[in-house]
Structure 1
């Protein structure tokens, strides 16, 4: 009887180990801009695939690229394209980056709700972020110094803003650099003098106010029709063609159900041809 019990316990332990071995644990790292859509897509995917565990760590697109290169993630979230030097580093380590566009986005300036400014031009935004305009009175606001808030240099959002708004000029030295889009929103919500920029999914917060650019509000519609001037793609990167559960997740986020999640968090589905055309400009 004892032998039978011991055998049964051994068999159950072996089955447990086998189940653990076959369970899939996928760490995903990278962009905080991509995080909102990934969080909801991961929850929906895991609900239908009980044996798959996907964990998300968001700290910036640069960190996503590093994680893909060093092999600590099979799936990197990025709000910019990988740089040539990152692709070279990857290939030197035997990694072949594959880009997958999962959505489109627009970068939207935000201020405190008490700020009367409703619109800024691209030239004004450039002058704010390079330190040439430092007082709100020069922009139609109440007199007082502008508190410039920016993403940090590991962020794809920072790099895209720097390239398309600052035209590669250096950001104002006294800018408050934040490690995530959530931190940017929190900072602006507490500082009446602040200005910042975030992806569209982070603008649905009553503690901040969005500002138009060149007279055009940041929105899904204005990104699709090509009138909003600061739009971009959102990406996943894998090492070569994705396989197994990673491939299944990628297929899910690009499916009709996955793209509905993209729309639900106020990003723009990749199926929209006008968005694709805009992002290539």
Structure 2
């Protein structure tokens, strides 16, 4: 009897270990989130033995989770900073970057707004609070500035590519996700915001920037001035079950899903 109990206990231990090896946690950017949700759904359908949880929260939070070892994959819409890499290494982590898609950050307004185009300087003036009335850009009414919050990789890319060392002014209404920005702009005729390419829909109107519309082609060629790569980070080169997921994401089927959710595949 004792021998039988020992065998059962050993089998349960093996089973629990196997489950632990196939449980993957993914956390981070809400820009990359739609890509990962689609990819994970397809991957788990083909690999029912692999359990994957996916959550947003922003690039900064995903990177923090990777550094403290609470996630296997961090989604990020901006590259890790050197101070983050140094902190990770001090904790025994080795962040490895993988580009998974291409994106464009698109300024959006309410469909009631007659504005069709802006340039980078005008965007900077809007987001520093220098321009406060749409009258200055040929419209009417006060400008309501909608921005991502500071934990967002999209926010950091916006500051680097548009603000050029200036900061978004304190009067901006900060939102925690791309979806929240879309909702805020769609409900306010005076609002302007910015989102990833995959979040464009009929509830808002995209603006061209420097005479260039944000499309898959202009984002990939970097002709569109607010283009960027999208990333995932792992602790070391992807291995085991994580490698299986990453290989699927970078493969033909995964890249088709990138395109299906509105982003630009790598090839």
Which category of TM-score, normalised to the shorter sequence, fits these structures? over 0.9
TM-score by length of 1: 0.89
The answer for the alignment partner of 1:190 in structure 2 is 187
The answer for the alignment partner of 2:142 in structure 1 is 145
The answer for the alignment partner of 1:21 in structure 2 is 17
2:10 and 2:111 mapped to 1: Cα distance?
60
- In the TM superposition, what whole-angstrom CA distance separates every residue of 1:163-219 from its partner, at most 9, and x where no partner exists? 11000101111000011111111111111110000000000x221111111121111
Pairing of 1:42-61 with structure 2 (within 5 A): 42-61=40-59
1:209 and 1:11 mapped to 2: Cα distance?
64
Query: Which runs of 5 or more residues in structure 2 are unaligned?
Result: none
With over 3 angstroms needed to count, the CA separation of the structure-2 counterparts of 1:170 and 1:226, relative to structure 1, is closer
2:102/2:220 contact within 8 Å kept: no
State the Cα distance separating 1:21 from its structure 2 match: 3.1
SS in 2 for 1:41: helix
State the Cα distance separating 1:103 from its structure 2 match: 0.5
2:63/2:80 contact within 8 Å kept: yes
1:200 and 1:239 mapped to 2: Cα distance?
28
SS in 1 for 2:224: coil
The answer for the alignment partner of 2:73 in structure 1 is 75
With over 3 angstroms needed to count, the CA separation of the structure-2 counterparts of 1:15 and 1:50, relative to structure 1, is farther
2:184 and 2:5 mapped to 1: Cα distance?
55
Pairing of 1:197-212 with structure 2 (within 5 A): 197-203=194-200, 205-212=201-208
SS in 2 for 1:26: strand
2:219/2:228 contact within 8 Å kept: no
- In the TM superposition, what whole-angstrom CA distance separates every residue of 1:90-141 from its partner, at most 9, and x where no partner exists? 0100111100000010000111111111101111000000011110011111
TM-score by length of 2: 0.94
Query: Which runs of 5 or more residues in structure 1 are unaligned?
Result: 1-6, 272-281
The answer for the alignment partner of 1:274 in structure 2 is none
2:60 and 2:266 mapped to 1: Cα distance?
23
SS in 1 for 2:238: coil
Tell me how many residue pairs correspond in the alignment.
Answer: 265
- In the TM superposition, what whole-angstrom CA distance separates every residue of 1:2-30 from its partner, at most 9, and x where no partner exists? xxxxx999988875664343122111111
2:10 and 2:48 mapped to 1: Cα distance?
20
1:181 aligns with 2:158: no
The answer for the alignment partner of 1:232 in structure 2 is 228
State the Cα distance separating 1:225 from its structure 2 match: 3.5
